[in-house]
Amino acid sequence: MKIFLTALFTLYLSPLFAEPSASSDTVQNGAAGLIYYPMYKPKTSRLVVLGGGHLVGLALAYDQTRKSWGGSTGKFHFKNDWSGEGLAQNDEVSHLTVGYVLTKQFYRAYRWAGLSPKKSRTYGALESALLLTFVEFPMDAFNSTQGFGVADLVFNYAGVGLGLLQLNHPGNWDIKASAKSNPFSSQEHLFAQTAAQFDNFIFWGTYRPTFKWGGRQPLSLGLGYSTRRDADGLSPLREFRFGVGTTIPDLVKSFAPNVAKYFEILDFYYFNLNWRATVK
């Protein structure tokens, strides 16, 4: 599963992410000193839009997987996804990133539809895990050019778990991605197919210090991982990167905090300046 799945779901869920007014699982009743659970009433019209968006997005994603990797018409088989793909675990890190980002995006979609934070977290994580499982089995497992990837599935679930951790215990850390060059000019289809296309992406763990500006401080420090080819054009080289950058919502938050929430779906992309160390 490649990083552009994230972009696809961002597109088809993009109208959905203005948060309802209640944003916590419990509300303190100051007068009575009691804690009560607010009533969350899903909005029928928004559920219809959400359901329609899912159908359209899943159909587009399925069509692009077939165009990128072919159909699942072979026999079940495993693949050596850890070291047999010549990608130096870049693909595994992308699986973790996609699982993380999808969990957060689905959470936002269910919150927009009026579900409680707790249910939105649960449904978001379950949907992300089920979707990524379906990609590995049966789609990849029965695809003669792919195969069932155990490491891919483990990293998928790790990403979902980290997404849940961030949603349950929000902090200044995050997982993001960036591209070395415009992927839309080098890829015919939605998903990466060649080693060069995989090498184009950098995956980041970031931390945004508050300094004296608090939550309006837009810059994040990042540790990134990517790959490139050696001089022979085939052997992968690992790249470890240190970056300083920001995201669109963090940048907007610095001067218009009330507007930033409308850009939250774009928080997975890390605009940055970075320094690289290469390891064979």
Q: For 192-239, how does the pLDDT look when each residue is reduced to its tens digit (9 = 90+)?
A: 667 788 899 999 999 999 888 888 999 999 999 999 999 888 889 999
**Three-state SS for 45?**
helix
pLDDT at 130: 95
Q: Which tokens is 123 given? A: 């449904």
Residue 9: is its pLDDT beyond 60? Answer: no
Averaged pLDDT for residues 119-145? 91
Helices and strands, number each (H, E), in the chain: 8, 7
Residue 7 tokens read as 């972009």
Under the banding of pLDDT at 50, 70 and 90, the label for residue 140 is: confident
Which stretches within the chain are classed as H helix? 4-12, 44-69, 90-112, 117-134, 150-168, 195-199, 248-253, 257-260
Q: Are 43 and 117 in contact (CB under 8 A)?
A: no
Mean pLDDT, residues 56-61 taken together:
84
Q: Which residue has the tokens 């999808």?
A: 102
Range of the domain at 157: 4-279
Alpha-carbon distance 258 to 261, whole Å? 7
- pLDDT category at 250 given cuts 50, 70, 90 is very high
Give CA–CA dist 230/280, Å, rounded. 8
Q: How far apart are CA 176 and CA 206, in angstroms?
A: 7
What is the predicted pLDDT for the residue at 249? Answer: 96
Dihedral sign for Cα 72, 75, 78, 80, please: negative
**Mean pLDDT in the chain?**
84
Q: What is the DSSP letter of 183?
A: G
* Owner of token pair 């990849």: 140
Instruction: Quote the number of domains for the chain.
Output: 1
Residue 8, CA distances (Å) to 2, 164, 213, 219, 260 in order: 11, 21, 34, 26, 21
| Interstrand relation of 201-207 and 173-179 (parallel, antiparallel or unpaired) | antiparallel
Please tell me the distance from the alpha carbon of residue 55 to that of residue 40, in angstroms, as a whole number.
25
Mean pLDDT, range 30-44, rounded to an integer: 62
Structure tokens at 166: 């961030």
Residue 187 has pLDDT above 80, yes or no: no
Closest of 124, 163, 117, 149 to residue 25, by C-alpha:
117
Contact 194, 234 (CB under 8 A): no
3-state percent helix, strand, coil for the chain, nearest multiple of 5: 45, 20, 35
- Least confident among 24-33, 83-92, 243-252, 265-274: 24-33
Lowest mean pLDDT among 41-50, 90-99, 101-110, 121-130: 41-50
